[in-house]
A and B are shown apart, each in its own frame.
Chain A
Amino acid sequence: MTETAQPARPLQRLDHVVIRFAGDSGDGMQLTGDRFTSASALFGNDLATLPDFPAEIRAPAGTVHGVSAFQVHISDHDIHTPGDAANVLVAMNPAALRSELHLVEPGGTILVNVDTFDERNLKKAGYSSNPLEDGTLAGYTVYEVPMTSMTVEAVADLGVKPRDADRSKNFFALGLLSWMYSRPLEPTRRWVEARFGRNEKVLAANQAALQAGWNFGETAELFEHRFEVAPATLEPGTYTSVTGNTALAWGLVAASQLADMPLFLGSYPITPASDILHELSKHKRFGVRTFQAEDEIAGIGAALGAAYGGHLGVTTTSGPGLSLKAETLGLAVSLELPLLVVDIQRGGPSTGLPTKTEAADLLQALYGRHGEAPLPVVAAYSPSHCFFAAIEAARIALKYRTPVILLSDGYLANGAEPWRLPDVADLPDIRTTFATEPNHLAEDGTAEFWPYKRDPDTLARDWAIPGTPGLMHRIGGIEKQDGRGDISYEPANHERMVHLRAAKIAGIADDIPPVTVDGDDDADLLVLGWGSTWGSISAAVERVRARGRRIARAHLVHLSPFPANLGEVLGRYRKVLVPEMNLGQLTRLVRAEFLVDAEVVSKVQGVPFTAGELERRFLAALDELEA
């Protein structure tokens, strides 16, 4: 029997569904979710994902600490979030059920691998009685599926060791869910073949488990119907599914091509940024040099050294790493060299919640340095936007000879969405020029090169790279004489240089797009966002509008400097709400800068806002304004 066989069950159409796969860290739930997502993307759904995994690589098996989950929201229309509550939970063991049940909508569907619900596993999960029997799941539609035993049976003839057989059970789950939601199996089969092709037995076992899961849905009299989520009507074009980290890595490759400068990545492994290092390490054909440094400081140091030599220098990290890089960032500000620092934010401080998302490094990015050391900060707002944000950050860095911090977060980094691929020809030209000639005539007529002579418009300094004859010069972290660049301890010169560096960064405001407002002009309430809250805010704003309420929203990509019109925009509204995955960092900034009545909507639970949470807050604010 194959997937092309006529479904025996009636097909029910859904406009969207949120499925949460949950199991032990070793159960392969991330992979299962990822594959389901890919098949859905190829099928044409709009989608958003939320991988949610523990910090430990393999926490004790069977415990709630070891539960790894992957939520995917698939839809026949444009969506912005991985969904508030799951419609369906796939729980591979009691611990998964226990830790994830509260995330399932009332009356939702629960599929459990019933084979694992034995006394030992129940105890490990902290259940004193079996939730399948004691009424815990009353009100839910529960399917008890013997996933382990069915998988073992399916692979029995293949000569697979029992342990390997057990490991294929996630493919059984994937096959079953693919049947339930009418996902084609073919893309998954092809992927399994490519991934496990070298290990024939594992390949055969996974393929057999996948098919067995599908067949189980088809033949067991358990399910009343199958579901279908039709393809979404998306803008025409070629689509792919990307995570934020992949898009960001590709954006860096693109920036290197658009700048016509080789890419150099200096990086130290840190969750959740390491995947950028992994991805870029593959792209040697693009002339990308990746350097796994001895520590975070060496990562940025090497990137700065490469930048000094005329490469596009990049370092990638997360919050704690950004702290370690702070001193070198001060040097880069002083040297006025282009450099990109990518911070994939996570729950902090310290190790905090390393695999969970947060956006609490904004103030660190803006101010976390010694001395007056302003630099531009750009924030990505969706997985695919990470691509464009990387190019924009590189553009600013090169044009203004300045380090730029690019903020993303764990949610964007690991979350996936369909991305309509841009035409490469439409991407901006971000080339810069190196000095090749002296730029100053000394009083005695000698032609000299002054490394701190500036472009009068951008205030960017002239940049000569080593290897350029006749332009040898010395730069360093000591204060430099304006123009000439020699060491200077002169008080008035220092003050002038501090102001010049600040003015250069402030001036970028005229070179970035003004912030645009989406929404009702006569609204009283403006929602101001930045970073990954974009999806949740979009969904919540749509819901508020669907209720006939007026609301406006704006989203910042540039956090330093702010777009030139931001103050004017904020001033138009009676109330500004700022959803942030921190305690109110942007809120504080806009209050201080523009004296507006901005109020934070804060969440720091390691997971993004749900649309429902924001909808309630927005409605409450509107009620208050109207009262």
Chain B
Amino acid sequence: MSDAPTTTRKDWASDQEVRWCPGCGDYSILAAVQLLLPELGVRPENTVFLSGIGCAARFPYYMNTYGLHSIHGRAPAIATGLAMARPDLDVWVVTGDGDGLSIGGNHLIHALRRNVNITILLFNNQIYGLTKGQFSPTSEIGKVTKSTPFGSLDAPFNPLSVAIGAEATFVARTHDMDRKHMMETFRRAHEHRGAAFVEVYQNCNVFNDGAFGAITAKDKRSEMLIDLRHGEPIRFGPEGERGVVLDAQGHARVVDVADVGADALLVHDEQRAEPSLAFALSRLSRGPFEPTPIGVFRAVERPEYGASVSAQLAAAQDQHGPGDLAELLRSGATWEV
């Protein structure tokens, strides 16, 4: 939309006072989104932010767009209806690990498999913040919280593996400490036709401070974050001395480039239709304490659901003309008295 009047960050910020805890990672995600939108040439009135319940879910209030703060876990379902009804809108869903993967897990996976045209940002802080600190479906085993004083027994979800398993066509990860990376990732997600899923590692400095510090702290990134770039061998480390290979079993493994040779490195292919590669990469790291890939894992094309629905309507109307109510009422056997 090159002809859209340009906007600035100010046009996208609402007049509401932002009420997250000081120091919360949500602030930087909000800033990244508000800075990105002017660059996309889109209009606030054609943009909708939808959310469920949780700290992340307050996001829509801070955007000067149309916004709907709904109920726990249901935002993907509500967004599905909106995106189907109004293909002209840009629909964003902001959710969290509890909202999207626990109470709303069912809606999330089905929105992904249908490939509805929505952009889903899942702020993963591995904790329940709004209800003051219970373990979440992404918390690590053994996590001591108010509801698990002896340590959590629940095996966590890997959000990206869930999304890939749910047939998502766009899957990416970014983190709240790197505005540029967030903006780039969100831009790609927004460009994608269909359901785009972005996991954002987000620090909850009140209930789970530093959960991602071991990989996202400035001095840790080069050795702990693996920036995925389509078509390039997967390498990381200050000197690019480490890399990723696929072993004979199809598992992704971190290696020293010196040991295997640069030619043995896995070349990232986000467009591969078959999801095993993206899945293997999503399993590379067991948690935010070892080298972890970020960026776009998967970006493939599949018909967008709302467009397909609209196409069926248009085809029916093309073939038989618009519906006529009087005719409908007479479509069964009729008789005159």
A residues whose Cβ falls under 8 Å from a Cβ of B: 38, 41-42, 44, 187, 231, 234-242, 246, 250, 253-254, 257, 262, 264, 266, 283-289, 291, 293-295, 297-298, 301-311, 313, 327-328, 330-331, 335, 420-422, 424, 466-478, 486-487
Q: How far is the CA of A306 from the CA of B309 in the complex (A)?
A: 14
Q: Indicate if the CB atoms of B323 and A253 lie closer than 8 Å.
A: yes
Q: How far is the CA of A55 from the CA of B66 in the complex (A)?
A: 45
* B67 interface residue per 8 A CB criterion: yes
Q: How far is the CA of A477 from the CA of B64 in the complex (A)?
A: 18
Tell me the nearest residue of chain A to B336, going by C-beta: A238
* B81 interface residue per 8 A CB criterion: yes
User: Could you name 20 residue pairs across A and B whose Cβ atoms are closer than 8 Å?
Assistant: A235-B337, A237-B336, A254-B325, A283-B323, A294-B77, A297-B74, A301-B81, A302-B84, A307-B81, A308-B68, A327-B71, A331-B70, A424-B325, A466-B66, A467-B45, A469-B43, A472-B45, A474-B63, A475-B69, A477-B69
Q: How far is the CA of A12 from the CA of B330 in the complex (A)?
A: 33
* B2 interface residue per 8 A CB criterion: no
Q: Indicate if the CB atoms of A284 and B69 lie closer than 8 Å.
A: no
* B326 interface residue per 8 A CB criterion: yes
Q: How far is the CA of A475 from the CA of B60 in the complex (A)?
A: 9
Q: Which of B43, B67, B78 contacts A473 (CB 8 A)?
A: B67
Beyond A238-B336, A422-B329, 12 additional pairs, beta carbon < 8 A: A287-B323, A298-B77, A298-B106, A301-B107, A304-B78, A306-B84, A335-B68, A466-B48, A468-B45, A474-B14, A476-B67, A487-B16
Q: Using A331-B71, A472-B45 as known contacts, say yes or no to A41 and B333 having CB atoms under 8 A apart.
A: yes
Q: How far is the CA of A469 from the CA of B80 in the complex (A)?
A: 23
Report the minimum CB–CB distance from A515 to chain B (whole Å): 28
Q: How far is the CA of A241 from the CA of B80 in the complex (A)?
A: 36
Report the minimum CB–CB distance from A317 to chain B (whole Å): 14
- Residues of the A chain whose Cβ atoms lie less than 8 Å from the Cβ of B141: none
Q: Which of B75-129 contact A (CB under 8 A)?
A: 77-86, 88-89, 106-107, 110
Q: Which of B85, B323, B335 contacts A264 (CB 8 A)?
A: B85
Q: Indicate if the CB atoms of A294 and B107 lie closer than 8 Å.
A: yes
Q: Indicate if the CB atoms of B334 and A238 lie closer than 8 Å.
A: yes
Report the minimum CB–CB distance from B316 to chain A (whole Å): 4
- Residues of the B chain whose Cβ atoms lie less than 8 Å from the Cβ of A478: 69
Q: How far is the CA of A327 from the CA of B47 in the complex (A)?
A: 26
Q: Which of B228-252 contact A (CB under 8 A)?
A: none
Q: Indicate if the CB atoms of B317 and A285 lie closer than 8 Å.
A: yes
Q: How far is the CA of A192 from the CA of B1 in the complex (A)?
A: 55
Q: Which of A239, A286, A295 contacts B337 (CB 8 A)?
A: A239
* B8 interface residue per 8 A CB criterion: no
A308, A330, A422, A475 — most chain B CB neighbours (10 Å): A308
Q: Which of B175-211 contact A (CB under 8 A)?
A: none
Q: How far is the CA of A309 from the CA of B44 in the complex (A)?
A: 15
Q: Indicate if the CB atoms of B80 and A305 lie closer than 8 Å.
A: yes
Q: Which of A241, A246, A486 contacts B333 (CB 8 A)?
A: A241
B residues whose Cβ falls under 8 Å from a Cβ of A: 14, 16, 43-48, 50, 60-61, 63-71, 74, 77-86, 88-89, 106-107, 110, 309, 312-313, 315-317, 320-323, 325-326, 328-330, 332-337
Q: Indicate if the CB atoms of A44 and B337 lie closer than 8 Å.
A: yes
Q: Indicate if the CB atoms of A487 and B334 lie closer than 8 Å.
A: no
Tell me the nearest residue of chain B to A234, going by C-beta: B337
Q: Using A38-B333, A235-B337, A285-B316 as known contacts, say yes or no to A291 and B81 having CB atoms under 8 A apart.
A: yes
Report the minimum CB–CB distance from A276 to chain B (whole Å): 14
Q: Indicate if the CB atoms of A302 and B323 lie closer than 8 Å.
A: no
Q: Using A284-B317, A301-B107 as known contacts, say yes or no to A241 and B332 having CB atoms under 8 A apart.
A: yes
- Residues of the B chain whose Cβ atoms lie less than 8 Å from the Cβ of A305: 50, 77-85
Q: Using A309-B86, A467-B86, A474-B60 as known contacts, say yes or no to A293 and B337 having CB atoms under 8 A apart.
A: no
Tell me the nearest residue of chain A to B84, going by C-beta: A289
- Residues of the A chain whose Cβ atoms lie less than 8 Å from the Cβ of B329: 240, 250, 421-422, 424
Q: Indicate if the CB atoms of B334 and A240 lie closer than 8 Å.
A: yes
Q: Using A238-B330, A301-B107 as known contacts, say yes or no to A477 and B71 having CB atoms under 8 A apart.
A: yes
Tell me the nearest residue of chain A to B61, going by C-beta: A474
A253, A291, A330, A486 — most chain B CB neighbours (10 Å): A291
- Residues of the A chain whose Cβ atoms lie less than 8 Å from the Cβ of B334: 238-240, 421
Q: Indicate if the CB atoms of B61 and A308 lie closer than 8 Å.
A: no
Q: How far is the CA of A307 from the CA of B81 in the complex (A)?
A: 8
Tell me the nearest residue of chain B to A287, going by C-beta: B313
- Residues of the B chain whose Cβ atoms lie less than 8 Å from the Cβ of A289: 84-85, 309, 313
Q: Which of B110, B312, B315, B333 contacts A298 (CB 8 A)?
A: B110
- Residues of the B chain whose Cβ atoms lie less than 8 Å from the Cβ of A331: 70-71
Report the minimum CB–CB distance from A357 to chain B (whole Å): 23
Q: Indicate if the CB atoms of B325 and A298 lie closer than 8 Å.
A: no
Q: Indicate if the CB atoms of B82 and A291 lie closer than 8 Å.
A: no
- Residues of the B chain whose Cβ atoms lie less than 8 Å from the Cβ of A44: 335, 337
Q: Using A237-B337, A466-B86, A469-B45 as known contacts, say yes or no to A285 and B320 having CB atoms under 8 A apart.
A: yes
Q: Which of A241, A293, A313 contacts B77 (CB 8 A)?
A: A293
- Residues of the A chain whose Cβ atoms lie less than 8 Å from the Cβ of B88: 467
Tell me the nearest residue of chain A to B82, going by C-beta: A305
- Residues of the B chain whose Cβ atoms lie less than 8 Å from the Cβ of A335: 68
> Which 9 residue pairs of A and B lie closest in terms of their CB atoms, listed nearest first?
A476-B69, A305-B81, A302-B81, A301-B77, A286-B323, A474-B67, A284-B316, A305-B82, A298-B77
- Residues of the B chain whose Cβ atoms lie less than 8 Å from the Cβ of A285: 313, 316-317, 320-323
Q: Indicate if the CB atoms of B325 and A302 lie closer than 8 Å.
A: no
- Residues of the A chain whose Cβ atoms lie less than 8 Å from the Cβ of B325: 253-254, 257, 286, 424
Q: Indicate if the CB atoms of B67 and A313 lie closer than 8 Å.
A: no
Q: Indicate if the CB atoms of A466 and B323 lie closer than 8 Å.
A: no
Q: Which of B14, B46, B315 contacts A466 (CB 8 A)?
A: B46
Report the minimum CB–CB distance from A434 to chain B (whole Å): 13
Q: Using A472-B44, A473-B66 as known contacts, say yes or no to A266 and B81 having CB atoms under 8 A apart.
A: yes
- Residues of the B chain whose Cβ atoms lie less than 8 Å from the Cβ of A310: 85-86
- Residues of the A chain whose Cβ atoms lie less than 8 Å from the Cβ of B61: 474, 476, 487
Report the minimum CB–CB distance from B104 to chain A (whole Å): 9
Q: Indicate if the CB atoms of B85 and A309 lie closer than 8 Å.
A: yes
Q: How far is the CA of A610 from the CA of B154 in the complex (A)?
A: 56
Report the minimum CB–CB distance from B177 to chain A (whole Å): 28
- Residues of the A chain whose Cβ atoms lie less than 8 Å from the Cβ of B328: 250, 253, 283, 286
B50, B60, B335 — most chain A CB neighbours (10 Å): B335
- Residues of the A chain whose Cβ atoms lie less than 8 Å from the Cβ of B48: 466
Q: Using A283-B328, A293-B77 as known contacts, say yes or no to A466 and B45 having CB atoms under 8 A apart.
A: yes
Q: How far is the CA of A306 from the CA of B89 in the complex (A)?
A: 12
Q: How far is the CA of A297 from the CA of B330 in the complex (A)?
A: 34
Q: How far is the CA of A242 from the CA of B333 in the complex (A)?
A: 10
Q: Using A264-B84, A264-B85, A424-B325 as known contacts, say yes or no to A302 and B78 having CB atoms under 8 A apart.
A: yes
- Residues of the A chain whose Cβ atoms lie less than 8 Å from the Cβ of B315: 284
Q: How far is the CA of A295 from the CA of B104 in the complex (A)?
A: 11
Tell me the nearest residue of chain A to B74, going by C-beta: A301
Q: Indicate if the CB atoms of B85 and A477 lie closer than 8 Å.
A: no
Report the minimum CB–CB distance from A421 to chain B (whole Å): 5
Report the minimum CB–CB distance from B79 to chain A (whole Å): 6
Q: Using A253-B323, A283-B323 as known contacts, say yes or no to A309 and B313 having CB atoms under 8 A apart.
A: no
B47, B81, B89, B309 — most chain A CB neighbours (10 Å): B81
Q: How far is the CA of A294 from the CA of B76 in the complex (A)?
A: 11
Q: How far is the CA of A262 from the CA of B328 in the complex (A)?
A: 16
- Residues of the B chain whose Cβ atoms lie less than 8 Å from the Cβ of A257: 323, 325
Q: Indicate if the CB atoms of A295 and B313 lie closer than 8 Å.
A: no
Q: How far is the CA of A476 from the CA of B129 in the complex (A)?
A: 19
- Residues of the A chain whose Cβ atoms lie less than 8 Å from the Cβ of B337: 44, 231, 234-237, 239, 420
Q: Indicate if the CB atoms of B332 and A240 lie closer than 8 Å.
A: yes
Q: Which of B65, B81, B332 contacts A306 (CB 8 A)?
A: B81
Q: How far is the CA of A297 from the CA of B110 in the complex (A)?
A: 13
Q: Indicate if the CB atoms of B68 and A475 lie closer than 8 Å.
A: yes
Tell me the nearest residue of chain A to B309, going by C-beta: A289
Q: Indicate if the CB atoms of B80 and A291 lie closer than 8 Å.
A: yes
Tell me the nearest residue of chain A to B313, going by C-beta: A284
- Residues of the A chain whose Cβ atoms lie less than 8 Å from the Cβ of B66: 466, 472-474
